[in-house]
Amino acid sequence: MDRRLEGKVTYVTGAASGIGLACAQRFAREGAVVVGLDVQESAEWKQVEESAPAAGFHLGDVRDEAAQQAAVDAILAEHGQIDVLVTAAGVTGGGPVHLVDLEDWQRVQDINLTGTFLSAKMVAPGMIERRSGSLITVASVEGLEGAEGGSTYNASKGGVVQLTRCMAMDYGRLGIRANCICPGFIDTPLFRSVIGNESFPAESRDRIRLQHKLGRFGLPEEIAGAAFFLASEDSSFVTGVALPVDGGFVAGHSVGVVEMMGLT
C-alpha cells in the first residue's frame, strides 16, 4: 500500500466497531495518525495501534460536549492538528411515529445528528485556522430517501446530509471540504442486530438485499474505501456531496424487468 495518508491526523467517532473501525484500520494502513472515540472498548482496535503507532483511543460519548472537547484537545496537544474527521458513531431506531417514544426519538437524534454536529464543532476551529481539512460524515441511504418505519433514523440521517452540505458552503473558501457518505445496508454488528437478526423476516431481508442492484449487502471496508477517497487528495475538488456507497440502492426502483430478461 502507498500510505497515501501519511501523517494525516484523523479523528474517528464510533471507532470501536463496524464502519468506524474499518475506517480507522484503513486509514492506519495508509499511514494516518488515527485517534478514535467510542462508548465501548474494542479488542480489534489493537490492530489499528499495531499499524499506526501514534494511534489513540478515547472512551466517550459523542453526545457529551466535554468528552468530545477533551478528545480533540488531547489530539491537538499531542499531534498539533486534525486533518480529517470521520463521524461514524450512530445508532438505529424508528417505527411509525404513533409508536415512537419521545425518549427514543430524542436519543437517536442526539447521537446521530447532535453527536455529528459536536464532532464538527470541536474540529472546525483548528481547520479554519490552518485553512485545510476534510470533514467526512456518515449518514445513510435512509438520509436520502424515506423508508417504511424509518421515521426517527431517517430524520436524523437526513439532518446529517443537510448539516454536511451547510458545512461545505460555510468552509469551502477556507480550503475545508465537507462530504457525507450514505451507505447502503452494510454487514456490521449494527446491521446484524436488526436486519441480519434471525427474528427479522427472511423475505424482507431478501427484498432489502435485492434493492441493492449488485444483489448483496455491503462490507465495512467498502465504506472505508470511500472515506479514504474523501480524505485523500484524489477528492481535492469534491465537496458538499452526499455520496451513496450503496450497491445501487438509490439508483431506482426494482420492478422485476431484470428477472423477466434473465439478467440475474
Ligand X SMILES: NC(=O)c1ccc[n+]([C@@H]2O[C@H](COP(=O)([O-])OP(=O)(O)OC[C@H]3O[C@@H](n4cnc5c(N)ncnc54)[C@H](O)[C@@H]3O)[C@@H](O)[C@H]2O)c1
Catalytic site positions: 153
- Contact of 48 with 68, CB cutoff 8 Å: no
Placement of cell 484503513 in the chain: 26
Interface with ligand X, residue 113, by CB under 6 A:
no
Binding piece for ligand X, criterion CB under 6 A, among 33-41, 122-130, 166-174, 234-242: 33-41
Shortest gap between Cβ of 125 and ligand X (angstroms)?
A: 21
Interface with ligand X, residue 107, by CB under 6 A:
no
Cβ closest to ligand X, residue 130 vs residue 209: 209
- Give the torsion through C-alpha atoms of 73, 20, 108, 38, to 10 deg: -50
Q: Which residues of 205-229 are buried (b: 16+ CB within 10 A; e: fewer)?
A: beebbebbbeeebbebebbbebbbb
Measure the CA angle with vertex 240, ends 13 and 155; round to 5°. Answer: 60
Interface with ligand X, residue 209, by CB under 6 A:
no
Interface with ligand X, residue 18, by CB under 6 A:
yes
Shortest gap between Cβ of 127 and ligand X (angstroms)?
A: 21
Looking at 28, 62, 178, 250, which residue binds ligand X (CB under 6 A)? Answer: 62
Shortest gap between Cβ of 46 and ligand X (angstroms)?
A: 15
3-state secondary structure of 17: coil
HSE-CB of 200 using CA atoms within 13 angstroms: 12
**Contacts with ligand X in 36-55 (CB under 6 A)?**
38-40
HSE-CB of 222 using CA atoms within 13 angstroms: 16
Adjacency order of strands within the sheet including 56-59 = 56-59, 33-38, 9-13, 84-87, 133-138, 176-183, 242-245
Binding piece for ligand X, criterion CB under 6 A, among 34-42, 123-131, 199-207, 235-243: 34-42
Binding piece for ligand X, criterion CB under 6 A, among 2-10, 47-55, 182-190, 200-208: 182-190
71 alpha-carbon distance from chain centroid: 18
Looking at 111, 155, 176, 231, which residue binds ligand X (CB under 6 A)? Answer: 111
Which positions touch ligand X (CB under 6 A)?
13-14, 16-20, 38-40, 61-63, 88-91, 111, 115, 138, 140, 183, 185-186, 188-191
